[in-house]
């Protein structure tokens, strides 16, 4: 059994280590920054409530990413029910946006990358984000999602192929280098 001060310190370290990557991961699913922050904070609240069992354990990373994924999916399900209730079941049709302008700064590249990520199939996007944004190993991703390491490898290969094609189509080859350099430095 750990001392309360030690638990608090471990919780604080865990929070600062995982908060931003978990928000980024949640954003890939929910696409609403404030909702993502709420989901991550609620998840950390549950971790604090279960502190004896989770804080400092080896399963914490797996638990956090799985909980975030499940909480995001629950959020989207509730949101969909709310929207359908507001429109009395009428189908909502979104019109496609205009082609994005040529990126001129890092924010534009981030937007281009976000648009490219939205073109990935959901499972592919999830694996890619866990690997490149959250810096999880293929083994950790495999454990978190309950899939084989080979499936993780295949999904990553598929994601990279789709991202390269999208970016090449939208902006040209040099942008690809810039975006992947961003991944190497973050």
Task: Tell me the C-alpha distance between 103 and 114, whole Å.
Answer: 13
Q: What whole-number distance in Å separates Cα of residue 158 and Cα of residue 152?
A: 10
Q: Residue 107's pLDDT is what?
A: 53
Together in a domain, 76 and 116: no
Q: Is 177 inside any structural domain?
A: yes
Please identify which residue in the block is written with the tokens 């804080």: 55
The predicted pLDDT at position 32 comes to 86
* Residue whose entry in the numeric block shows the structure tokens 């001060």: 5
In this prediction, residue 89 carries a pLDDT of 47
Quick one: 75 and 127 in the same domain?
no
Residue-level pLDDT at 51: 65
Query: What region, left, alpha or beta, does residue 74 occupy, with left being phi > 0 and alpha being psi -120 to 50 degrees?
Result: alpha
> What is the domain-level CATH number for residue 178?
1.10.10.10
Q: What is the pTM of this model?
A: 0.49
CATH number at residue 69: 1.10.1740
Q: Report CA-CA distances (Å) from 37 to 8, 29, 32.
A: 21, 12, 9
pLDDT in tens, the chain (186 residues): 467 788 778 888 888 888 899 999 999 888 888 888 889 988 888 887 776 666 667 778 888 888 999 999 888 888 877 655 554 444 444 444 444 444 444 456 667 777 778 888 988 988 988 888 788 889 999 998 999 999 998 998 888 888 777 776 765 544 444 455 445 433
Q: Are 156 and 127 in contact (CB under 8 A)?
A: yes
Residue 98 lies in a domain: no
Domain that holds residue 110: 106-185
Domain tally, the chain: 2
Give, in degrees to the nearest 5, the angle at Cα 147 between 142 and 153: 65
In a domain, 101, yes or no: no
Q: Given this model, what pLDDT does residue 156 score?
A: 86
């Amino acid at each position: 059994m750990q001392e309360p001060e030690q638990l608090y310190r471990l919780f604080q370290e865990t929070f600062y280590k995982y908060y931003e990557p978990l928000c980024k991961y949640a954003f890939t699913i929910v696409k609403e920054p404030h909702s993502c922050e709420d989901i991550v904070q609620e998840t950390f609240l549950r971790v604090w409530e279960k502190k004896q069992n989770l804080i400092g354990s080896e399963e914490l990373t797996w638990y956090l990413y799985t909980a975030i994924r499940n909480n995001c999916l629950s959020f989207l399900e509730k949101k969909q029910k709310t929207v359908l209730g507001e429109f009395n079941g009428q189908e909502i049709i979104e019109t496609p946006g205009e082609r994005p302008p040529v990126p001129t700064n890092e924010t534009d590249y981030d937007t281009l990358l976000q648009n490219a990520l939205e073109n990935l199939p959901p499972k592919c996007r999830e694996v890619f984000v866990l690997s490149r944004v959250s810096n999880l190993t293929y083994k950790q991703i495999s454990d978190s999602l309950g899939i084989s390491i080979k499936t993780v490898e295949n999904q990553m290969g598929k994601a990279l192929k789709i991202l390269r094609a999208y970016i090449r189509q939208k902006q040209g080859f040099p942008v690809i280098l810039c975006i992947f350099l961003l991944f190497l430095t973050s």
